[in-house]
Structure 1
């Protein structure tokens, strides 16, 4: 299925509402008839909700599609102290589901969003009907082993240094929309021009000084020094009871959960590999992605 063209027209886009979480206000974009079965699309790090527009348009005829901007991203508030631990993202998702009365909900999530959705589903399995995580398992076993081999003092010192370095480094703002588009195109050469422009429009805003800036808080990249261990993550994965699909691109460089042992830790899941797709599977191979997604959703 070929995804439809993207339009940024005011009347052609999603409706919008906000959800309050402690100290922050989250933007939520809404597609389709709210009376239809709910489906959440969750974006990844340094991304935004509107990157899902093509997918949302396809699904909106059958679902009430709910697309949040994660804290620190898109039109949602930034944390005043720049702290974005995983458990806060999961709490935000729980708040959205409960406040909007979405459970049991289908979730389709990418990267950071996938990691959030997997943990949420493991903690509250009765809330999720079906789950699709696109490259969302987080660090590979090798990366986790390397991290866990560090001593606590080493990890804390490293986090302090990285956090201070981020705070001290000036933000690299785009000069204008064309510059933002050029940067996105350079990083993602497989994306079509229409998509690049759409992503850039919604990834930037005008700051108080009149200059353009990215909509995501660059401090989201500061990974917490003490995160869930591999064993704790496996407990969450094993607690998932709903049908689950893990999607990976063969050209992404990510560790394959079929061969690295992670798929065995998630009995409810199966893995779909999309040939030639990088990390942004839904953008790199949109037709193949939509075919796999539609087949999985149709089973329900």
Structure 2
């Protein structure tokens, strides 16, 4: 398979797969100093409109939300953040990639961008950071969307994701990277894969390619184990949240079961759930159109009430 970067433009790809958008927004690359690190984020849309903060999953980047950002930018001011060690953000010199540090980064990010009150949308790791931030900063959050993450996860699904992330550090070509992702998610279209890979990969001086994140993250992630005490604390965190919350699960997710999703919503104070068909754990890239359609009523409701 031959990949032509010229044909991987975001707007062309979005039009091909039917992403709903009315204006060809182009994101502005920005950087901000947070806790001694320069963090990168993408800014979309009109700053005068309500702000949505997008938080990506482990080993992903702000560009993982590009299709979603393009669609949301018609109605919202969108800030898609690269967590420390991810995308174009600085790597931590002392290898500090704890969830607590990422939460602190987010707290300072919202303050320094003067964007509160915000709508938080977080996938996987980003969902965890998002709901922990929300619980600790209730007055700064309008509403919260948690995507396919919960205190209780399916170990088989977690291990499958880890195996993919830890499989290989370097690739000889973009084509090889696309093939690797296609083997992981064979139901994604070629246009989706090429557009995603082109924005989440970097080429090194020797010609090889890698994903845009600190390799230290892979080692730390392989050692990370959630204890029963951790899970209990996360449940209590979710139970404390008062803002309107939407839990989004992929119908084919092997990370969060339907039963866990229902339990999470029942334990929260003001939550509802929705399932996106044709999507696994990585809902926003597995079925971006389905995801956008699933959150639209929730977002509209927040500004009608």
Q: Name the TM-score class by shorter chain.
A: 0.7 to 0.9
Residues 250 and 274, structure 1, Cα contact 8 Å, conserved in 2: yes
Q: Name the residue aligned to 2:283.
A: 281
Q: Does 1:261 align with 2:278?
A: no
Q: Name the residue aligned to 1:26.
A: 39
- Structure 2 distance, partners of 1:15, 1:255, is 37
Q: Name the residue aligned to 2:175.
A: 178
Q: By how many angstroms is 1:34 displaced? A: 1.0
Q: Name the residue aligned to 1:73.
A: 86
Q: Name the residue aligned to 2:115.
A: 102
Indicate the SS of the match to 1:35: coil
Structure 1 stretches lacking a partner, 5+ long: 144-165
From the superposition, tell whether residues 178 and 106 of structure 1 become closer, same or farther in structure 2 (CA, over 3 Å): same
Indicate the SS of the match to 1:229: helix
Residues 83 and 219, structure 1, Cα contact 8 Å, conserved in 2: no
From the superposition, tell whether residues 36 and 261 of structure 1 become closer, same or farther in structure 2 (CA, over 3 Å): closer
- Structure 2 distance, partners of 1:285, 1:205, is 25
Query: Pairwise mapping of residues 15-94 of structure 1 onto structure 2 (< 5 A)?
Result: 15-94=28-107
Indicate the SS of the match to 2:263: coil
Residues 123 and 239, structure 1, Cα contact 8 Å, conserved in 2: no
Q: By how many angstroms is 1:90 displaced? A: 0.7
- Structure 1 distance, partners of 2:93, 2:152, is 27
Indicate the SS of the match to 1:109: strand
Indicate the SS of the match to 1:299: helix
Query: Pairwise mapping of residues 174-253 of structure 1 onto structure 2 (< 5 A)?
Result: 174-221=171-218, 222-223=220-221, 224=224, 229-253=230-254
Q: Name the residue aligned to 1:162.
A: none
Residue of 288, 291, 294 corresponding to 1:292: 294
- Structure 2 distance, partners of 1:264, 1:72, is 34
Query: Pairwise mapping of residues 142-157 of structure 1 onto structure 2 (< 5 A)?
Result: none
- Structure 1 distance, partners of 2:210, 2:286, is 25
Residue of 125, 136, 150 corresponding to 1:137: 150
From the superposition, tell whether residues 226 and 273 of structure 1 become closer, same or farther in structure 2 (CA, over 3 Å): closer
Indicate the SS of the match to 1:282: helix
What's the CA shift string for 1:179-200, capped at 9, x where partnerless?
1111111111121111211211
From the superposition, tell whether residues 257 and 117 of structure 1 become closer, same or farther in structure 2 (CA, over 3 Å): farther
What's the CA shift string for 1:79-100, capped at 9, x where partnerless?
2233311101111111111100
Q: By how many angstroms is 1:225 displaced? A: 5.9
Q: Name the residue aligned to 1:124.
A: 137
Indicate the SS of the match to 1:197: helix
Q: By how many angstroms is 1:275 displaced? A: 2.9
What's the CA shift string for 1:92-142, capped at 9, x where partnerless?
1111111001111011111111111011001111111011111122543x7
- Structure 1 distance, partners of 2:294, 2:36, is 38
- Give the alignment's Cα RMSD to 1 decimal: 2.5
Residues 111 and 138, structure 1, Cα contact 8 Å, conserved in 2: no
The aligned length equals 270
What TM-score do you get using the length of structure 1 for normalisation?
0.82
What's the CA shift string for 1:263-297, capped at 9, x where partnerless?
33312211112233211222223332221111110
